[in-house]
Amino acid sequence: MLKYIAFILNNTKRSLKMILKQLIKNFLIYQGTTFMASFEWNIDKYPLDTNCISTMQIRPDIKSDVVICEASTTNNKIFIHPAEKIIEIKIPATETAGFKFEKAVYDIELEFPNGDKFRIVQGQMTLSLEVTRSE
């Protein structure tokens, strides 16, 4: 049974007791800059593997069919580092420059080669509009 997951954000490290309960983390995204976050996956029963698939979607609200952004291991916006037990998200500045929302929701799922899938983190995103931009 899953006991805990540790995560790293802004160079801080915490651990939370979990029983298949995802982490809730809200983010501030700076429009026109690269968005980066990384999470440490520290669950021995499910070791990270290069064949794991991770997907993240940002939507205006939880019921919306509109996908503002999709990041995944297949589109090279999510990277899995098994040796370090790290899941890294990187959305390029060229993409965040096109974001128009004030607030949005997201979640990140991790699927293992055996088919087991977990929602590992979810929350809200707030967009800080860019002032310095090329017209």
Note the pLDDT tens digit of each residue in 33-60: 999 998 888 887 889 999 999 999 999 9
Q: Which of 83, 6, 16 is nearest to 38 (CA)?
A: 6
Q: What is the pLDDT of residue 8?
A: 38
Q: Per this entry, what is the length of the chain?
A: 135
Q: Please tell me the predicted confidence (pLDDT) of residue 22.
A: 57
- The pLDDT value recorded for residue 42 is 81
Question: Above 90 in pLDDT, residue 5?
Answer: no
Residue extents of the structural domains in the chain: 22-128
pLDDT (tens digit per residue) in 77-130: 999 999 998 899 999 999 999 999 999 999 999 999 999 998 889 999 999 999
What is residue 75's DSSP assignment? T
Which residues, 6 or more positions from 131, have their beta carbon under 8 angstroms from its beta carbon?
none
Q: Where are the alpha helices (DSSP H) in 6-118?
A: 93-96
- CATH for 22-128 is 2.60.40.10
